[in-house]
A and B are shown apart, each in its own frame.
Chain A
Amino acid sequence: DGGITQSPKYLFRKEGQNVTLSCEQNLNHDAMYWYRQDPGQGLRLIYYSQIVNDFQKGDIAEGYSVSREKKESFPLTVTSAQKNPTAFYLCASRTGGSSYNEQFFGPGTRLTVL
């Protein structure tokens, strides 16, 4: 079964803690993305990676960090420096190449800071 998985589905964090959200894909996609979605809002890009061991900041990277050690995996760490981390986090991937095609999304992780 090909697709993108995110875990956990729900995550609760105390203030001051770092947490890591998992994103795995078995679609053999080159590019992977992390988005944040707030209620009633569109998606905002946090980080993206076009190849292994390389990634770029998106529009709202402050307070977040990522790694891309394997093609299949793109974990996102929400650090204590992120002032308002409560949100719905979505991971996506797409095939590489010059023709920009669609992104495939995971089911999301809802993070709540207590």
Chain B
Amino acid sequence: SQQGEEDPQALSIQEGENATMNCSYKTSINNLQWYRQNSGRGLVHLILIRSNEREKHSGRLRVTLDTSKKSSSLLITASRAADTASYFCATVLQGGSEKLVFGKGMKLTVNP
């Protein structure tokens, strides 16, 4: 079952620009997480935002959460070529679920 859906599915920008990725989900969540995956590798956790939080920062990353709209956005500022990867949002459903439900992901390409 697919809970999150990233938008856009692919984004190509120049180094130094900001990249914004959006995630929409369907049911109430406990928290929402963003992961990065370089081609052919495992996923790396980027940031977690809980349902009672509205915004969180980590280095060049800024995540917002709007539970009324069931959506989240991930902003990467001053992008670098090394940010080229696939990005996934994943949700933990409300009710103490043990499972993370992933979206299909979006491909970010940062051109040098």
Question: Do A and B interact with each other, yes or no?
Answer: yes
**A residues at B contact (CB < 8 Å):** 4, 31, 33, 35, 40-45, 48, 50, 56, 58-59, 88, 90, 92, 98, 100-108, 110
**Nearest-CB residue, chain A, relative to B105:** A42
Instruction: Quote the shortest CB–CB distance from A11 to chain B (angstroms).
Output: 14
| A42–B102 CB distance below 8 A | yes
Tell me which residues across on chain A come within 8 A of B48, comparing CB atoms: 101-102
Q: CB distance B103 to A108 under 8 Å?
A: no
* Complex contacts, A35 vs chain B, CB 8 Å: 102
Q: Could you say which residues of chain A place their CB within 8 Å of the CB of B105?
A: 40-42
Q: 20 more A-B contacts (CB under 8 A) besides A31-B98, A105-B35?
A: A33-B100, A41-B105, A42-B4, A42-B88, A42-B102, A42-B105, A43-B43, A43-B88, A43-B102, A45-B99, A50-B98, A59-B1, A100-B98, A102-B33, A102-B45, A102-B48, A103-B100, A104-B45, A105-B44, A110-B40
One digit per residue, 1 when the CB lies within 8 angstroms of any chain A CB and 0 when it does not, for chain B 1-44 equals 11010000000000000000000000000110101000011111
In the complex, which residues of chain A have a beta carbon less than 8 angstroms from the beta carbon of B41?
A: 107-108
Q: Does B59 have its Cβ within 8 Å of any Cβ on chain A?
A: no
Q: Does B112 contact A (CB under 8 A)?
A: no
Say whether chain A's binding surface is mostly helix, strand, loop, or mixed.
strand
Q: Tell me whether A98 and B96 are in contact (CB under 8 A).
A: yes
Check B104 against A40 for contact (C-beta < 8 Å): yes
Decide yes or no whether B92 CB sits under 8 A from chain A. yes
Give chain B residues whose Cβ lies under 8 Å from the Cβ of A50.
98
Contact residues in B for A106 (Cβ distance below 8 Å): 42
**Contact among B2, B30, B33, B40 for A108, CB-based, below 8 A:** B40
Once the chains are docked, how many angstroms separate the CA of A48 from the CA of B73? 28
